[in-house]
Amino acid sequence: MSQPDQIDLTAEEKSYLQALIDAKKVPPRVSDRAKILLLRSDGVSPSEIHRRLHIQSKSVQLCLDKFRSDGLMRALQDDQRSGHPKEISEEAMQWIVQTAKKSPRTLGYEQDLWSIALLHQYVQQHAKEAGFPRLERITSPTVSRIVNQADRQNLKVRKTRKLNGFNLINCTEVLIYCRTYPRYKNGSDGVRIIGCDVVTAEIFVSEPKSALQVSCIQLLELLDGRYPETYTIRIIDDDCRVFKSPEIQLYIWGKRKGRFEVYTLPTEEKYAEKLLSVSS
């Protein structure tokens, strides 16, 4: 007979948690939480879990409480911490947003809509007189992030990406082709993951690491920092296959829903089979 506060896991969830425990590059705290959930689903009491795993009782209970309230992935994740105070104040960010709501033409420019580059230039030039001297050092990506986090309905800002000198308007998705270099084989060391923006041809390269998962997370962090937070980053996985590993799926889950989407290219054999089926 199950205990009142025992948790229920599906076979798929149990398999996923066991994969996290067996994976070498998963942080120990995540592996410990996976063990807590598996043990509790088997009817082991919280006090016995504390004794077996040498984990504080309050940490065991917190993991179980988060699972009951928000589900499996929430139980595996760290709580968000407050961190350092914001370097750019809410008032300063609001001034940038209010500026973006004005047409550049009303401020002496010839165009009706801001580009991020022009808005960035204006913010830096007028920050001190507006009472926000810190913004004289603001970067263009930070301006882009502030604008994209705001309600864009009334903003006079173009959403643009460039292809061979032409502007692509209202583009909020990017397509990244990824593969390993050199081609990955089991046990290979020093393998990089290379990504290419198929629209702009911008290249992203991870550092060679002993573990492919580490290189993959480094590449995802490069992409996450490069594009506005509202964009969806679609990854075409040529031969990496690491994007489907438990470690990488956990990293992707921790981001905004829809931030990353991964598509795996078929092998050459599958291509051949498909072509033969069509021709027949």
Give the model confidence (pLDDT) of 227-276 as tens digits: 877 788 888 888 767 788 888 888 888 777 778 888 887 765 555 565 55
| Average model confidence (pLDDT) across the chain | 78
What are the pLDDT digits (tens) for 142-176? 887 788 777 655 677 665 554 444 443 344 567 88
Domain ranges of the chain: 11-76, 90-158, 169-270
**169-270: CATH, from 3.40.640.10, 2.40.420.20, 3.30.420.10, 3.40.50.150:** 3.30.420.10
Q: Is the peptide bond before 182 cis (omega within 30 degrees of 0)?
A: yes
What are the pLDDT digits (tens) for 3-22? 656 788 888 888 888 888 88
Whether 252 contacts 242, CB under 8 Å? no
| pTM, entire model | 0.44
Give the lowest-confidence range in 20-29, 45-54, 89-98, 267-276.
267-276
Residue 61 has pLDDT above 80, yes or no: yes
Residue 36 has pLDDT above 90, yes or no: yes
Confidence at residue 148, expressed as pLDDT on a 0 to 100 scale? 74
User: Do β-strands 260-264 and 232-237 pair in parallel, antiparallel, or remain unpaired?
Assistant: parallel
Paired with 195 in beta bridges are: 178, 204
More confident residue, 130 or 158: 130
Per-residue confidence band for 51, with pLDDT thresholds at 50, 70 and 90 = very high
HSE-CB for 85 with a 13 A CA cutoff = 4
